[in-house]
Amino acid sequence: MAKREVVECPILSIIPETPRVNTYRLGVGGGAFSFMAGQFLMASIPDFLREDGRPVRRAYSIASSPLDLMEGYLDLTITRVGEGGYFSNRIHESKVDDIVLIEGPYGKAFHLAYPPERFPERYLFVGSGSGIAPLRAMIRTLLKEGCPVPIELFYGYRYVSDCIYEEEIKEWMKKGVSVHLAISGSVSSGQVFSGAYGRVTSILPELIPSYNGQEVFICGPPAMVEQTVRFFQDIPFPEESVHKEQW
């Protein structure tokens, strides 16, 4: 396989999503990088090196649509891990115009083929925390392409303030996407939340009773992904209609 090029990208803007999550919009010149929605890349920062002198590299899902490349950017949505979070803490100290090096794309198993050979009856997306990042790439792609079948998103996070892409999700709803939100933490006084309480996996059984030709994409932490995959296996959904990514 040909070696992938490392592409130097300036940070065009930093979009705060939640107290611990930012989206980094990286400038990518025409044709310098290509990918399919759902894939990830390896990111590094110039002169941010390991003790052995090699770059600190981490995998990040590309959170924007391949169609956004025509406007010269791609997005990475990165949670600040906090104590011990080596790369994520470092990038959260970055400023606009700083350089991020990207290499890829990677991840052939988890991607949206568009247009598909045959449309499913419905696209289902199930995400938790920053696992919504590659799902956003897919949903943006479907909406920009004018997808002719319904799109449904199940998204879980801890507290009301942890909702990533809150404003964009409202725009998706206006465009017809069915959105089901679930929080696993408590609601503070003065906060309004109209979704469900509990883990995102707990709202699936009532809303997805059977297989009717849906195609499902799941992303989140390993325990959530395992539980969600088991839910679809038990219905059962055909294996080839369930796609998963975890970190």
- The closest of 30, 4, 25, 34 to 98, measured between CA atoms, is 25
Among 5, 6, 50, 86, binds ligand FAD (CB under 6 A): 86
Here's the x/- map for ligand FAD, 108-147, by CB under 6 A: it reads as ----------------------x--x--------------
Least Å distance, CB 88 to ligand FAD, is 3
Q: How far apart are CA 239 and CA 92, in angstroms?
A: 38
Nearer to ligand FAD among residue 76 and residue 160 (C-beta) = 76
Based on the shown chain and the rule CB under 6 A, indicate whether residue 101 belongs to the binding site for ligand FAD.
no
Q: Is 24 in the site for ligand FAD (CB under 6 A)?
A: no
C-alpha–C-alpha distance, residues 173 and 11, integer Å: 29
Q: Does 85 bind ligand FAD (CB under 6 A)?
A: yes
- Indicate whether 20 belongs to the interface with ligand FAD (CB under 6 A): no
Q: DSSP string covering 105-162, please? A: EE-SSS---SS-SS--SEEEEEEEGGGHHHHHHHHHHHHHHT-SS-EEEEEEESSGGG
How far is the C-alpha of 79 from the C-alpha of 23, rounded, in Å?
Answer: 9
Under DSSP, the state recorded for 80 is -
Q: Among 23, 64, 65, 79, which residue interacts with ligand FAD (rule: CB under 6 A)?
A: 79
81 is a contact residue toward ligand FAD (CB under 6 A): yes
Token digits of residue 164: 């990533």
**Interaction residues for ligand FAD, span 144-183 (CB under 6 A):** none
Query: By the criterion CB under 6 A, which residues form the site for ligand FAD?
Result: 40, 58-61, 77-79, 81, 83-89, 130, 133, 247
